[in-house]
């Protein structure tokens, strides 16, 4: 018996060699590259595992990291997961992530919305500033104040 990270669904299970995943039925001993496993783990049922996968993707920066994180940002999830995904997208500082982060800053959990605002500030591009200006007139005072705070140094001459 050993621990496996399911290549089909990202679930972590204790099983014999040759066993199939109890969640999705895929064979657990199929080879899966670590960075691909991290992308799969973004959908792990345990929010702590999924959030940790997002942080590892930002730290390791494999070629598929931004795409996997953007796709995850577009799907619903636990607040801690979406916040970690936003944080990771901010750390990767890719201007192409602004659309997903702007959307996340407008809808969903407050924790994720604030993380999206921070990520937009970390990117800091012209498009990110446009999204931050939208967030600066958000109905939520928390989001509004955070966006204004983060805009100030970006707009300073």
CB nearer Zn ion, residue 31 or residue 156: 31
Q: Which of 4, 5, 6, 77 is the binder for Zn ion (CB under 5 A)?
A: 6
Q: State yes or no: residue 92 binds Zn ion (CB under 5 A).
A: no
Q: Is 89 in the site for Zn ion (CB under 5 A)?
A: no
CA–CA distance, 153 with 35 (Å, rounded to integer): 35
The answer to whether the beta carbons of residues 42 and 51 sit under 8 Å apart is no
Site for Zn ion in 10-49 (CB under 5 A): 11, 21, 23-24
Distances in Å between the alpha carbon of 102 and those of 34, 63, 127, 147, 148?
30, 23, 10, 11, 15
DSSP code of residue 2:
E
Min dist. Cβ of residue 62 to Zn ion (A)? 21
What backbone phi and psi angles, to 5 degrees, belong to 92? -80, -15
Q: Does 9 bind Zn ion (CB under 5 A)?
A: yes
Which residues neighbour 46 within 8 Å (Cβ) at sequence distance 6 or greater? none
Residue 9 C-beta: closest distance to Zn ion, Å: 3
Q: Which span sits near Zn ion by CB under 5 A: 8-16, 47-55, 98-106, 141-149?
A: 8-16
**Contacts to Zn ion by CB under 5 A:** 6, 8-9, 11, 21, 23-24
């Amino acid at each position: 018996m050993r621990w496996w990270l399911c290549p089909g669904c990202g679930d972590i299970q204790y099983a014999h060699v040759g066993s199939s995943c109890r969640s999705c039925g895929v064979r657990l001993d199929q080879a899966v590259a670590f960075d691909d496993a991290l992308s799969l783990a973004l959908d792990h049922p345990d929010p702590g595992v999924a959030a940790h996968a997002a942080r590892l993707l930002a730290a390791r920066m494999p070629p598929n990291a931004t795409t996997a994180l953007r796709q995850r940002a577009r799907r619903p999830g636990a607040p801690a997961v979406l916040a970690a995904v936003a944080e990771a997208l901010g750390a990767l500082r890719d201007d192409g992530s602004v659309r997903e982060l702007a959307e996340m800053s407008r809808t969903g959990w407050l924790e994720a919305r604030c993380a999206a605002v921070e990520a937009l500030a970390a990117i800091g591009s012209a498009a990110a500033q446009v999204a931050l200006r939208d967030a600066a007139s958000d109905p939520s005072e928390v989001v509004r104040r955070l966006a204004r705070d983060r805009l100030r140094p970006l707009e300073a001459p």
